[in-house]
Structures are given as structure tokens and as C-alpha cells.
């Protein structure tokens, strides 16, 4: 049985950039539904003993397992998203910042490209920074798609499904993404 991850911060710890109402709705309803639905879908199947990553890899692109893939992908993406945030988040430091500067010229250019990926993701999805064999890449995925199915190592993600920000930012996705990058991004994790 898959379980919701325990968080290192409380539902109100991300205020004022993410309200406890948004957090409780997102974590306690959306994420919980993905985990609960996945458990029902895999019960008694070959997937019941696999990790989320294995399920994602085994079901990606297979229509007969689309519901399993969607719920496994969303459960994994959300787990990673919760870890991508911190009440003490913000700009990356150390070797990661050095790598960003080496590849993108400066942090502000990198941040703008990541923000652009998040804001221009049409409809529901995710913006990611991934490690692709030692090279940092910014990408976006729709719905339940995840870098795990592509064999990439995620570093951080931004959830751009409306339920991640609508209570606090309404249709101002760019403001939410800016607040995430300035105040919540947990590069240390």
C-alpha cells in the first residue's frame, strides 16, 4: 500500500506564499485521492509490489494501464513537489548555483527560463529542472507525465495545475511561480 508522505513542515508553514487552505486542499484532497486511487487500482496486480518509479516506467505509454500511470505519476510528482518546497526556500547556493551560472550565464536568466516553462505549460502540468547525464535542463510535462518515465533525474518541480495556486493567486500563474521561486523553492533538498 502506498502512503502519503509525511511533511517536514505544517500546512500553514508556507504562508503567505501558499495559504493553509490551498495546502490542505491540495495535499489533503488532491494528493490523497491519487494515492488512494492508485492503491485501489494496483491491489492484487503485478504492480502492487512495485515502487512508484517502477510502476511509472512499466505503465508509461500503455493505454491499458493509463489509469494506473496517471495516478502513480501524480502521486510521485506530488511527493516530489512537497519536497521541492520549504518555508526557508529561495535561491540555490553552492555547487548547484555554480552549475546554473556555468550553463545559463547567470541565475536570473535561468530563473526566467524556468518561470517561462511554468507559465507557458498549456493547461495542467509541471515545470521541472532535471539532471540529464550531468547537464541541467528545464522542461515541462503535461498532466501526470514525469521525468521518471524519461529516465531523467528531477532536481525540483513546480506544480502548475490550477489547484496548486488558484485559491491564493486566481488566474495569476506567473505571480504564483515568482513567489515559489523567490520564497519556497527548496534547492537544498
For 143-166, what is each residue's pLDDT tens digit?
999 999 999 999 999 999 999 999
For the chain, the structural domain boundaries read 18-189
Region 18-189: CATH code:
3.55.40.20
Q: Quote the pTM value.
A: 0.95
**pLDDT for the residue 189:** 72
Q: Are 128 and 157 in contact (CB under 8 A)?
A: yes
Q: What parts of the chain have a pLDDT lower than 70?
A: none
Amino acid at each position: 500500500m502506498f502512503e502519503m508522505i509525511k511533511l517536514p513542515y505544517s500546512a500553514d508553514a508556507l504562508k503567505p506564499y501558499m495559504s493553509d487552505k490551498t495546502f490542505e486542499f491540495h495535499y489533503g484532497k488532491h494528493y490523497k485521492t491519487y494515492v488512494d486511487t492508485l492503491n485501489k487500482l494496483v491491489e492484487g496486480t503485478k504492480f502492487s509490489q512495485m515502487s512508484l518509479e517502477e510502476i511509472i516506467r512499466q505503465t508509461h505509454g500503455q493505454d491499458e494501464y493509463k489509469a494506473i500511470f496517471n495516478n502513480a505519476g501524480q502521486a510521485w510528482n506530488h511527493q516530489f513537489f512537497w519536497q521541492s518546497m520549504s518555508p526557508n526556500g529561495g535561491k540555490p547556493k553552492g555547487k548547484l548555483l555554480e552549475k546554473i551560472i556555468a550553463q545559463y550565464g547567470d541565475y536570473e536568466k535561468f530563473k526566467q527560463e524556468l518561470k517561462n516553462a511554468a507559465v507557458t505549460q498549456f493547461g495542467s502540468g509541471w515545470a521541472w529542472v532535471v539532471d540529464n547525464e550531468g547537464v541541467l535542463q528545464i522542461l515541462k510535462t503535461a498532466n501526470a507525465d514525469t521525468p521518471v518515465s524519461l529516465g531523467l533525474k528531477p532536481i525540483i518541480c513546480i506544480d502548475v495545475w490550477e489547484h496548486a495556486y488558484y485559491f491564493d493567486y486566481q488566474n495569476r500563474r506567473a505571480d504564483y511561480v515568482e513567489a515559489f521561486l523567490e520564497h519556497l523553492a527548496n534547492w537544498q533538498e
